[in-house]
Structure 1
Amino acid sequence: MRSRIGPEPFKIKAVEPMRLPDRSVREEALVRANYNLFGLRSEEVYVDLLTDSGTGAMSAAQWAALMMGDEAYAGARSFYALKDAVKEILGFDYVIPAHQGRGAENVLFGTLCKKGDVIPFNMPFDTTMAHILNVGAKPVDCVVDEAFDLVSDYPFKGNVDIGKLETVINQYGKENIPLIMVTVTNNSGGGQPVSLQNIRDVSQVARKYGIPFFLDAARMAENAYFIKMREPSCANMSLKEIIRAMADAADGLAVSCKKDPLVNIGGMITCRNEEMYHVLLPRTILYEGFATYGGLAGRDLQALAQGLFEMTDEEYMSHRVAQVRHLGELLDEAGVPFVKPAGGHAIFVDAASFLPRIPQRLFPADVLAAEVYIEGAVRGIGLGALAFATADPETGSEVLPKLELFRLAIPRRAYTNSHMEYVAEVVNDVYKRRESVDYGLELAYEPPVKGIRHFLGKLRPKKL
């Protein structure tokens, strides 16, 4: 049964025209892009659900904040506005700005990790994994088994299995584990949340072994909303209180601020102690910028400070999650398989079940992405073997991921519920004709850097 979704808790002040390109234009564009939807031009897309990163709409208050930006190279007022917001919302004394999340990842993993190290996760996302692999370290999944049951209604499929975590620590030795990281929500596993109790349990294990504990907190507000809705002990807490409780359990955060903090560009690392702060600063200056701007203009720092407060608005977040759920319910009515419950920022279609005739080595998630684009100029992203396959360290043979997903990520405050209905219609139409999809995709080119082939790879069709 479809749940009620209320109207958007905002009104539209400026509009950006959208035009649906002809099918012939879409077909030519897909070929020119080598069947990789990252290669499309934005004007060739009607509804763009490639990512929710940096694609949302800023508020009137954030646009006003831009005009308050202090562009001083060092010690800008805008940095201290961000520092104050981080202290109030997240409780950390130290903040290092970065140009975006992967800049923060570069500073964190490039500083703390070395060849042979192991980093336990629930599940890392693509650039996180790439940064770890490219310093010669290894991420290890410790997510609960329920994460791989795509149809169960288990409320916290992003949780860390504490037994798995302790096994990894004992197997590799705490001296080879520079940090433990938990991604909230768990993007690789379908945007699934992590409970507050689980975050606290991981924190306790980290303290037991003396290992720093970081949250990958790009979607911390969405995760907090799910905690409020699904964790009985937190039902009477405010969103702001839950976010703070999550942060209080960690030694630091790495954040892509292009997600929940509601800006189009920006990232940050937060930490509790001065020692960690000064350990991370040299690489920040080498790769991002000075300590008080980290690759961002003062106006971006000012908008980010405002966005940290706005992400705690419960009316906004309620609609945000409901809009994603609305798309899921429309797909569910047509029988389209996807990860359930619906995630906080995206619907993750089960491409392996949607296109069962296509073997995983021929990238069914990316075939589905191509077919949905051809059908209605809707752009999503395949998150399966193309993005997450790895090489066995002993044999060198390819190890395919357990999940083969097609993600439809919804930008914040950018599309209406009518757009979601259009997207559902397009995906449902592809589902009706799924038996006619008679090809897979194979790599014609992949970049020489580990972990990023889905961004830059060139694909070509291969008949089944």
Structure 2
Amino acid sequence: MAFMEPFRIKMVAHLADITKEERVEALHRRHYNPLQLSDQEINFDLWTDSGAAAMSHQQWAAMLQAHEGSINPDSFDKFEDTIRSITGFPYVFPVHQGRAAEHLLFSMYSKPGLAIFSNTMYSTGKTLANVLGASQKDLPCKRVRGEFFNGNIDCERLEQELSESDIAIVVLTVTSNHQAGQPVSMANIRRTSEICRRYRIPLFMDGCRFEENAYFIKIREKSYGDMSARAIALEMCSYFDGMYLSAKKDAMCSIGGCFATKLLDLREKFDEMVETFEGRRRYGGMAARDLDAVAIGLTEGIEDRYLKYRIESLSTFGDILKKAGVPIVEPVGSAIYINAARCLPHIPTEQYPAWALHCALYIEGGIRCNYLDDALKFDDSNERENPQPHHFLRICLPRRAYTLSHMLHIGEVFEKLLAKRERISGIRIVQRCIGMSKMLLEPVNASLIDIN
């Protein structure tokens, strides 16, 4: 039996009413870069799940009742109490989004020779480490086909690195974006914590999807099957010195974030840093209404009933795409990763098969997703027997925004495209820019795809 959405729809946003011919013209006008298309030209916007969730009526009601402009907003008390109860961290700081907390944290530890180790760090962390003059190194576990926790950090390599480092911090990203959205096991978290404590190295969590990770532990790590996701999340956090998160993911909000810690010395430093860079201690760059929305979103997001729907919807979406013949990374984690090089084997690597597939998906179904080149830190299955370049598309599923019928329709779009895959042209870059959204491209052939 397919999953059932544990909610009813109270407000709707209409999908774009744009023909295939109009999409061809729009894509040509935007230089074959779907990331430049306007929202009104998109039917299914699957490029990110960040800030794209449908908020609940409780969240909207709380936002309308919040008192703005206060130096001491009551909304902070709810925000603080919620995060304390879910994570166990006593010291909580609001920030305008996750990367702000990341910036403040890394700045505090920044010294000549600082090394930052991670299973895989998000791109903002890598850039920030470089700006601060720190070295950043990812230590992903070796991907094992069928393994449930391919987001783990390689503990053997971590121990070796820490034994050779004078100044270091460790950040575990859960779930791990650049390991195909795969979760991190409690056993790996616990062992990482033990190693860090032995070397007296601080351990932090990038917890943007820590609630989803908790549910993955519940259903994939045998000894946790009878525990609630909330209890699992509390245990996860107990192994860390602190965490930062963007509220645009698990908290199902448009903006916001936080840093939380149990280290008193960090609390004192954050007090000063937040006041300097984010705003006053009790709102940290956030509106009071957003503090309320985050508190309610995190509470709704840690409920087992919701998480069961969330994880099963991702898994079901993956099954729909597999049935359509789409090669995806398995098991499905917090997003769906598609090997575009295997979808379009006739397109050589230098003609960007993932870009070509992305453009074809937009023409055929008005779908926007996210292009990835070789950024994924894992080896795909059967690589030794059948080596393939890693050109991936990532499909994110915004929380509570799309229904099962939408997923079935998207599966049909893929099936239709793959039936005529030989007619999809490769892509060449006309103008390279910093940031993929600014790049200008064109099809190698006269047209990207025969639209009939």
Instruction: Confirm or deny a common fold (TM above 0.5).
Output: yes
Give the corresponding residue for 1:440. 427
Q: Distance in 2 between matches of 1:28 and 1:174?
A: 57
- What amino acid is aligned across from residue 338 of structure 1 in structure 2? I
Q: Does residue 1:62 correspond to 2:59, yes or no? A: yes
Q: Distance in 2 between matches of 1:99 and 1:359?
A: 42
Q: Distance in 2 between matches of 1:366 and 1:269?
A: 36
Q: Does residue 1:164 correspond to 2:153, yes or no? A: no
1:332-347 to 2 correspondence within 5 Å? 332-344=322-334, 346-347=335-336
Q: Distance in 2 between matches of 1:360 and 1:83?
A: 49
1:371-410 to 2 correspondence within 5 Å? 371-385=360-374, 403-410=390-397
Within the candidate set 114, 118, 135, 1:117 is matched to 114
8 A contact 2:425–2:443 mirrored in 1: no
8 A contact 1:174–1:211 mirrored in 2: no
Q: Secondary structure at the match of 2:171?
A: strand
Q: 1:235 to 1:134 in 2, by over 3 A?
A: same
8 A contact 1:68–1:302 mirrored in 2: no
- Offset at residue 455 of structure 1 (A): 4.0
- Offset at residue 73 of structure 1 (A): 4.7
Q: Secondary structure at the match of 1:160?
A: coil
Q: Distance in 2 between matches of 1:98 and 1:234?
A: 32
Q: 1:303 to 1:245 in 2, by over 3 A?
A: same
8 A contact 1:121–1:142 mirrored in 2: yes
Give the corresponding residue for 2:127. 130
Within the candidate set 423, 428, 438, 2:415 is matched to 428
In the alignment of these two chains, the number of paired residues is 436
Q: Secondary structure at the match of 1:7?
A: coil
- Offset at residue 379 of structure 1 (A): 0.8
- Offset at residue 114 of structure 1 (A): 5.0
Q: Distance in 2 between matches of 1:93 and 1:72?
A: 26
Q: Secondary structure at the match of 2:402?
A: coil
Q: Distance in 2 between matches of 1:367 and 1:130?
A: 28
TM-score, scaled to structure 2:
0.90
- Offset at residue 403 of structure 1 (A): 4.2
The farther-off stretch of 276-285 and 205-214 is: 276-285
Q: Secondary structure at the match of 2:198?
A: helix
Q: Distance in 1 between matches of 2:29 and 2:122?
A: 27
Q: Which runs of 5+ in 1 are unaligned?
A: 390-400, 448-452
- Offset at residue 115 of structure 1 (A): 6.2
Give the corresponding residue for 2:18. 21
- Offset at residue 102 of structure 1 (A): 2.1
Within the candidate set 293, 299, 304, 2:289 is matched to 299
Give the corresponding residue for 2:439. 457
Q: Secondary structure at the match of 1:197?
A: helix
RMSD over aligned CA atoms reads 2.2
- Offset at residue 308 of structure 1 (A): 1.6
8 A contact 1:196–1:227 mirrored in 2: yes
- What amino acid is aligned across from residue 27 of structure 1 in structure 2? V
Q: 1:31 to 1:131 in 2, by over 3 A?
A: farther
Q: Secondary structure at the match of 2:243?
A: strand
Q: Distance in 2 between matches of 1:201 and 1:388?
A: 24
- Offset at residue 120 of structure 1 (A): 1.1
Q: Distance in 1 between matches of 2:80 and 2:306?
A: 24
Q: Does residue 1:174 correspond to 2:166, yes or no? A: yes
- Offset at residue 213 of structure 1 (A): 0.7
Give the corresponding residue for 1:200. 190
Q: 1:408 to 1:68 in 2, by over 3 A?
A: same
8 A contact 2:180–2:376 mirrored in 1: no
- Offset at residue 47 of structure 1 (A): 1.0
8 A contact 2:163–2:199 mirrored in 1: no
Q: Secondary structure at the match of 1:145?
A: coil
1:95-110 to 2 correspondence within 5 Å? 95-110=92-107
Q: Which runs of 5+ in 2 are unaligned?
A: 378-387
Q: Does residue 1:257 correspond to 2:247, yes or no? A: yes
Q: Distance in 1 between matches of 2:429 and 2:344?
A: 16
The farther-off stretch of 54-63 and 348-357 is: 348-357
- What amino acid is aligned across from residue 457 of structure 1 in structure 2? M
1:234-253 to 2 correspondence within 5 Å? 234-253=224-243
Within the candidate set 80, 85, 106, 1:88 is matched to 85
- Offset at residue 195 of structure 1 (A): 0.5
Give the corresponding residue for 1:228. 218
